[in-house]
Amino acid sequence: MAKTFVEKYGTRWSSDQSDLEIEMYCIRRGGKWRPYPKDPRECGAGLSHHYEAVRKILWPHLDQHRWNDLCRDAMLHNKISVLMGPGSSGKTHTAAWVRLVEYYCFPEETCVLVSSTDIRGLQLRVWGEIKMLHDLAKASYPDLPGHLIDSRMCITTDDLDEQETRDLRKGIIGVPCVQNGTYIGLGKYAGIKQKRMRLIADEAQFMGKAFLSAFANLDKNPDFQATVLGNPNDILDPLGKAAEPIDGWGQHLEPKETCTWRTRFMNGICVNLIGTDSPNFDFPSDQPTRFPYLISKEKIDNTLSFFPKDSTEYYSQCVGAMKIGTLMRRVITRDMVIQFGAREDVIWANANRVKIFALDAAYGGDRCVGGHGEFGLDIDQRSVLKLFPPEIVPIIVRGDITPEEQIAQWVKVYCERLGIPPENAFHDSTGRGTLGTALAREWSALCNPVEFGGAATPRPVSLDLYIYDPKLKKKRLKRCDEHYDRFVTELWWSVRLCTESRQLRGMTEEVMDEMAMREWDKVKENKIKIETKKEMKERVGRSPDLGDWASIVVEGARRRGFQIAKLGTAENGTDGGLLDALEKLQDQMRGINRSHALTHS
């Protein structure tokens, strides 16, 4: 019997080939191809079409909607795709079926890492979705590749007994990034080599700060793609960094509708699914909810019954957009640091500089951070403070020496190596009275304690912030105790003022991130208040040790003669800055009014 053929996608297929085989072949050819190098004809309908066709064959019960299409295309055509949105937006589902289809098409050369916070998170979310879809597909098409080993959370290509060694480079592997409360990340998998390396990073907003650094090692594979999933929480967590627009979050308006943009991280793409723009709202409101698993009016109303519209819970679960307005309430922002050159180096005018050592002491949980800075005049004769990268002080549990003594010995060695005298060494003494004793015993009693608690000082806030004193009946510099609620706020805000006045240099990425995480607000008498360390740890999951260290450097420099002064004062050559300018304008206005006033003879 003669073999028969059918025409489809611009080429001929054997009539005994199934629709699934045809679609998978088209995917292997890249979605579109030419029959011969010089043939002007083009075969295939594109990757998006063929992936969708395979999905309909394997899982005909699944719905198609615009969110699914948008996320699918972002994953197929970009090395890095960030799918960010509210809960119940289908991000996990789309990522699961797209990578599962790809594995079926390339089972011998594909490794898919599927990461989430912990084993429970994997089972409930992305790994659970992949496992469910794989079982359904294999039930209808048993010849599909992949052997599920649920105990090891993997699907392998090799058909071997449980006891034998499988090649986990070929398959799908579930990776819990947090074990026993400790973040371990993707370190043990970052060295895997495979032709097609894929990563689905679920719940990225809860990952450790080093999570994105693993992408560099995975990118060494010939063909690497990563999909980052999560609900927006903070611009400085891994999800916020992966989704950051090229021009920064500060220039990004909160979207009202679903949208996409290019990202600063590895030139990827972010798909921001906005809950109030759900596909469920594409249909008349008097009809039943079309997609019950997607966010709907019922879920939004239910959330609003517990949380107000401006709450973090509403934004995260119902809107799905990064709340950019919170940037206005951060001690420092990335845009501020870049704008005022705080990450740049400095060219000194001469060798007359003062070195300051700072220590944020901690043991038994938080990091113990030590390091130094130096201030002097730059080539523009501006007083500048440069920060050098801080170090984590190693503390070992020993019976013959206390943690305080270990810290004191480390500080002595560090400072003597750099020629920093003890009177220029400053350390956090909050609740750590024995550290001062250890420093005095191991090195010198001239070291300076900095007590974070207590009231703000009567020092001037800066050299250009004036107020009118009704008692003295003249303007004077505003005092810190009039501007801040307590001393720790004064310490941290001084770093901001130093940055805004272009007097800070050498700030590292890590220090900038921690400074930018801390929020502030206005309280009674219009004073500035930063959130407590406990509040910040509960919100972002870590202590601001590097930020505390930077604030101690600035405080030590101020005590040794460094003055924070806004550029506007120096450029204007006045001692009153804006207040003087306003007074001059007021005098001019009085003169104009007098010249036009009517006179009576």
SS (H, E, C) 537-559: HHHHCCCCHHHHHHHHHHHHHHH
Summarised one tens digit per residue, pLDDT across range 501-515 is: 999 999 998 899 889
Helix (H, G, I), strand (E, B) or coil at 200: strand
What does the pLDDT look like over 430-452, one tens digit per residue?
A: 765 689 999 999 999 999 999 99
pLDDT at 361 over 60: yes
- Tell me the HSE value of 94 on the side-chain side, using a 13 A CA sphere: 32
Please say whether the beta carbons of 54 and 128 come within 8 A: no
pLDDT per residue as tens digits for the range 527-542? 999 999 888 887 777 7
Q: Give percent of the chain above pLDDT 90.
A: 63
- Domain 68-323 bears CATH identifier 3.30.70.120: no
pLDDT band at 348 (very low <50, low <70, confident <90, very high): very high
Q: Which has the closest alpha carbon to 47: 121, 117, 103, 102? A: 102
The region of weakest confidence among 90-94, 240-244, 584-588 is 584-588
Report helix, strand or coil for 389.
coil
Eight-state DSSP code of residue 479: B
Per-residue pLDDT band for 601 (boundaries 50, 70, 90) equals very low
- In the block, tokens 């590749």 appear at 145
Residue closest to 70 by CA, chosen among 83, 61, 54 = 83
Q: How far is CA 186 from CA 178, 218, 221, 239, in A?
A: 10, 10, 15, 16
Whole-Å CA distances, 299 to 218, 289, 305: 38, 11, 10
At 235, is the pLDDT very low, low, confident or very high (cuts 50, 70, 90)?
confident
Question: What stretch(es) of the chain map to CATH 3.30.420.240?
Answer: 334-578
Provide the pLDDT for residue 248. Answer: 86
Split at pLDDT 50, 70, 90, the class of 352 is very high
Burial class from Cβ neighbours inside 10 Å (0-12, 13-18, 19+) for residue 147 reads middle
The model's pTM: 0.71
Section 61-77 average pLDDT: 97
> Hey, which residues does 198 pair with through a beta bridge?
112, 225
| Three-class DSSP category at 510 | helix
Task: Note the pLDDT tens digit of each residue in 567-576.
Answer: 333 333 334 4
Please tell me whether residue 466 adopts helix, strand or coil conformation: strand
| Model confidence band, residue 326 (pLDDT cutoffs 50, 70, 90) | low
pLDDT value, residue 458: 94
Per mean pLDDT, which of 136-140, 146-150, 507-511, 574-578 is the most reliable?
136-140
**φ, ψ dihedrals at 184, nearest 5°:** -115, -20
pLDDT tens by residue, 453-496: 889 999 988 888 889 888 888 999 999 999 999 999 999 999 99
The label of the residue with tokens 């007083």 reads 383
Three-state DSSP string of 231-249: CCCCCCCHHHHHHCECCCH
pLDDT tens per residue, range 1-48: 567 889 999 999 999 999 999 999 999 999 999 988 888 889 999 999
Does the 334-578 domain belong in CATH 1.10.3720.10? no
Span(s) in the chain for CATH 3.40.50.300: 68-323
